[in-house]
């Protein structure tokens, strides 16, 4: 039997070719596209504006790699963490983060991760698969609906900061941003989307060559090669000098300001000497710095630093005219905070969860 193709790998022109092959009128392609990306259809049967015969033809030749919600938790601070099943039975997690100023969807780009950063729960899992563009868009669509139904508001931001390294799933990541921002898709401004990377210099340069319009964040966490290599193996092949050069190239190509993410650990990278190194590195491009409170993970070797040290660290940077934000953790009680996704070994155990609604 012929294997069915994932219809969401096709763009609008590809769907027009399909309609010709199926002896259907070409305008049906746009209808199908809208059902897939604007109306979030999970099956061809839901595409009620299409004839029954066309739906049957599509069913016979294609499948839709739509995510299925497996579990959902709501934190005491209203953060929502969702576990989704992929079509091949893997589990990924996406998070809706409400604050007074933003409603942010944090989504995953891979199942697991190959980079093994020491402070990240996902890094303790092996890389199992790259997510498709559709699977990334599905997370946004579901979290957008949760923002609307539970909090009566719209998404303000999308961050690719969940499971996985987006730049190691480059083509699918880029396609997903195109679908999120296009008029035929979700119509979200690219300036409300941020791609976060652990730091792959050649791919940062490729982002510049592709003249992307979304924002770029670098998970820096130390502006010292020895310290950064201790917590992030990727630094051995993408050291700070190579990243500095790639960021300068990216900024020259796009004109975009970079965000440096800096998780602050007790007695590791929280001293004023570390702040001085960060300030020096930050001179390379226009930037802002997000200081992120560390969130414990199972068997982690790090601890949270004190609020006083965080504040002193931020004050040092601000005195050097840097833009600094302190990101307090949200969703820690449901393992939804930064670095905690898949902290339960990528298996959602119902008996360990309290599902609130």
15: domain CATH number is 1.10.150.530
Instruction: Please give the structure tokens belonging to residue 277.
Output: 């190194």
Based on the domain organization, do 52 and 117 belong to the same domain?
no
Number of domains the chain is built from: 2
Out of 24, 82, 93, 293, pick the active-site residue. 93
Cβ burial of 62 (10 Å; 0-12, 13-18, 19+) is middle
pLDDT one-digit tens code per residue, 92-150: 999 999 998 899 999 999 999 989 888 887 777 889 999 999 999 999 999 999 999 99
Instruction: Please give the structure tokens belonging to residue 189.
Output: 């401004």
Residue 93 domain-assigned (yes or no): no
Based on the domain organization, do 171 and 286 belong to the same domain?
yes
Q: What pLDDT band is residue 346 in, cutting at 50, 70 and 90?
A: very low
| Angle value at C-alpha 241, between 239 and 247, nearest 5 degrees | 100
pLDDT one-digit tens code per residue, 271-290: 999 999 999 999 999 999 99
For residues 64 and 124, is the Cβ–Cβ distance under 8 A? no
Write the DSSP string, 199-243. --HHHHHHHHHTT--SEEEEE-S-SSHHHHHHH-GGGGTS-HHHH
Question: Per-residue pLDDT for 343 more than 50?
Answer: no
Return the minimum-mean-pLDDT range out of 185-194, 237-246, 299-308: 299-308
Based on the domain organization, do 238 and 117 belong to the same domain?
yes
Q: What is the pTM for the complete model shown? A: 0.89
**Residue 178 structural domain:** 107-125+158-342
pLDDT score recorded for residue 180: 96
Based on the domain organization, do 236 and 175 belong to the same domain?
yes
Query: Once rounded to an integer, what is the mean pLDDT over residues 180-191?
Result: 93
Say whether 287 is catalytic.
Answer: no
In angstroms, rounded to a whole number, what is the distance separating the alpha carbons of residues 280 and 21?
59
Say whether 273 is catalytic.
Answer: no
Residue 151 domain-assigned (yes or no): no
118: domain CATH number is 3.20.20.70
pLDDT one-digit tens code per residue, 175-184: 999 999 998 8
Residue 308 domain-assigned (yes or no): yes
């Amino acid at each position: 039997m012929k294997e069915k193709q994932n219809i969401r790998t096709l763009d609008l022109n590809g769907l027009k070719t399909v309609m010709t092959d199926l002896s259907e009128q070409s305008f049906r392609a746009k209808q199908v596209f809208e059902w897939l990306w604007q109306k979030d259809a999970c099956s061809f049967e839901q595409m009620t504006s299409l004839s029954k015969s066309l739906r049957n033809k599509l069913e016979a030749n294609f499948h839709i790699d739509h995510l299925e919600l497996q579990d959902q938790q709501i934190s005491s601070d209203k953060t929502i963490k969702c576990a989704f099943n992929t079509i091949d039975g893997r589990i990924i997690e996406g998070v809706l983060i409400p604050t007074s100023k933003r409603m942010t969807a944090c989504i995953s780009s891979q199942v697991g991760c190959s980079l093994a950063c020491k402070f990240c729960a996902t890094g303790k899992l092996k890389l199992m698969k790259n997510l498709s563009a559709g699977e990334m868009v599905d997370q946004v669509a579901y979290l957008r609906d949760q923002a609307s139904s539970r909090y009566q508001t719209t998404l303000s931001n999308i961050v690719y900061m969940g499971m996985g390294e987006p730049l190691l799933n480059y083509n699918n990541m880029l396609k997903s941003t195109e679908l999120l921002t296009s008029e035929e898709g979700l119509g979200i401004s690219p300036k409300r989307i941020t791609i976060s990377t652990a730091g792959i210099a050649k791919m940062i340069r490729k982002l510049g060559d592709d003249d992307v319009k979304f924002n770029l964040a670098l998970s820096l966490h130390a502006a010292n090669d020895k310290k950064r290599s201790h917590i992030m193996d990727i630094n051995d092949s993408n050291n700070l000098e190579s990243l500095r050069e790639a960021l300068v190239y990216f900024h020259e190509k796009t004109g975009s300001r970079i965000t440096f993410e800096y998780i602050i650990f007790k007695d590791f990278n929280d001293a004023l000497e570390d702040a001085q190194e960060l300030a020096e590195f930050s001179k390379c491009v226009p930037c802002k710095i997000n200081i992120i409170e560390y969130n414990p993970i199972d068997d982690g070797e790090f601890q949270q630093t004190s609020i006083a040290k965080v504040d002193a660290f931020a004050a040092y940077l601000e005195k050097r005219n840097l833009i600094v934000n302190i990101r307090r953790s949200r969703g820690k009680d449901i393992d939804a905070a930064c670095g905690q996704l898949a902290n339960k070994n990528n298996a959602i155990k119902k008996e360990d969860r309290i599902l609130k609604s």
